[in-house]
Amino acid sequence: MPFTDWLKNRTQKTQEAANKRAVPDGIWSKCTICGKTIFQKDILNNFHVCPECGHHFGLSGHERVMMLLDDGSFSATEEDLWPKDPLGFIGSKPYRQSLNNAIETTGRREAVTTGFGRIKGNKVGFGVLDFRFIAGSMGSVVGEKIARLFEAATSERLPVITVVSSGGARMQEGVLSLMQMAKTAATVEQHNQAGLPYISILANPTTGGVLASFASLGDIIIAEPKALIGFAGPRVIEQTLDEKLPKGFQTSESVLNHGMVDMIVPRDELRETVGRLISGLSPVSSDQNLGDQVV
């Protein structure tokens, strides 16, 4: 190697090491998209969105509840349901081990949180998938909780809001996961037949059997900017077709252009937008809306 190249290489490595030292954990974060180093508080105060490039970082189920619902209004339901390993599945590691790891690292029992609360004063059924728990995938418990949410919202005549970030149906539960697609879709349809609104919010990423069931059945489908939205991932499609996919394929912007979602809403406008839509769509026969109108 010529001396000048060696020197350049060494200078670059020294600079990289210095950059690493300059980013202590817990104070600064490096944006995975634009590469800028950002004060973590600035990200937190900006709805977990990069202030430099607008990248929407992932959120936990709890953070979604805090961000979308009125303070202190949320009450979780069906919290006694635990996932099982009905097939005794062993993939790259035993499913039971994946479940235990996910439970330990997230402090959650499953990928889904369901319950009831208020958005801008409107009472709603609310469900959210947390990507940190086995990629927000839908197994028996996730499907059952989503189905029960729609059933309860139908009997109470309430709108439903879901926020999805998911890799799809959970392969470790095999056909039992696939059955959840039909089950959740049927309960969404019952809710729909009752004339009640359902708003589905798609976050990055929304793929597979979750997109192919309840997440794509909203009366209004909202996407966060630049989310990956599609059935099979781009790598699988490229391998199957043996073709390079166009730039921007399967992004929120691309699926909006093709009519698959109704609007793209940045996270800082999400609560306002959903509140406005629910106020406009909710049947005025529900108690809380009658109350609001009389006042």
* Residue from 28, 42, 52, 174 binding Zn ion (CB under 5 A): 52
3-state secondary structure of 205: strand
* Span of 34-42, 108-116, 240-248, 262-270 interacting with Zn ion by CB under 5 A: 34-42
* Span of 47-55, 164-172, 187-195, 262-270 interacting with Zn ion by CB under 5 A: 47-55
Q: Which is nearer to Zn ion, 33 or 87 (CB)?
A: 33
**DSSP H or E run through 222:** strand 220-223
CB of 49 to Zn ion, least distance (A): 9
* Residue from 29, 43, 49, 50 binding Zn ion (CB under 5 A): 50
Please, is 248 exposed, middle or buried when counting C-beta atoms within 10 Å of its C-beta (0-12, 13-18, 19+)?
A: exposed
Q: Which is nearer to Zn ion, 48 or 96 (CB)?
A: 48
As a whole number of angstroms, the distance between CA 203 and CA 252 comes to 9
* Residues recorded for the chain: 295
Q: Which is nearer to Zn ion, 124 or 227 (CB)?
A: 227
Q: Give yes or no for residue 266 binding Zn ion (CB under 5 A).
A: no
Q: Give yes or no for residue 267 binding Zn ion (CB under 5 A).
A: no
Residue given tokens 């699926």 in the structure block: 255
As a whole number of angstroms, the distance between CA 281 and CA 270 comes to 16
CB of 28 to Zn ion, least distance (A): 13
As a whole number of angstroms, the distance between CA 33 and CA 58 comes to 13
Q: Which is nearer to Zn ion, 46 or 288 (CB)?
A: 46
Q: Give yes or no for residue 30 binding Zn ion (CB under 5 A).
A: no
As a whole number of angstroms, the distance between CA 203 and CA 222 comes to 9
Q: Which is nearer to Zn ion, 149 or 227 (CB)?
A: 227
As a whole number of angstroms, the distance between CA 117 and CA 119 comes to 7
CB of 34 to Zn ion, least distance (A): 3
Q: Burial code of 69-108, b = ≥16 C-beta within 10 A, e = fewer?
A: bbeebbeebbeebebebeeeeeeeeebeebbeebbeebeb
Q: Give yes or no for residue 219 binding Zn ion (CB under 5 A).
A: no
CB of 162 to Zn ion, least distance (A): 27
CB of 25 to Zn ion, least distance (A): 18
Q: Which is nearer to Zn ion, 55 or 64 (CB)?
A: 55
Note the residues at the interface with Zn ion (CB under 5 A): 31, 33-34, 50, 52-53, 55
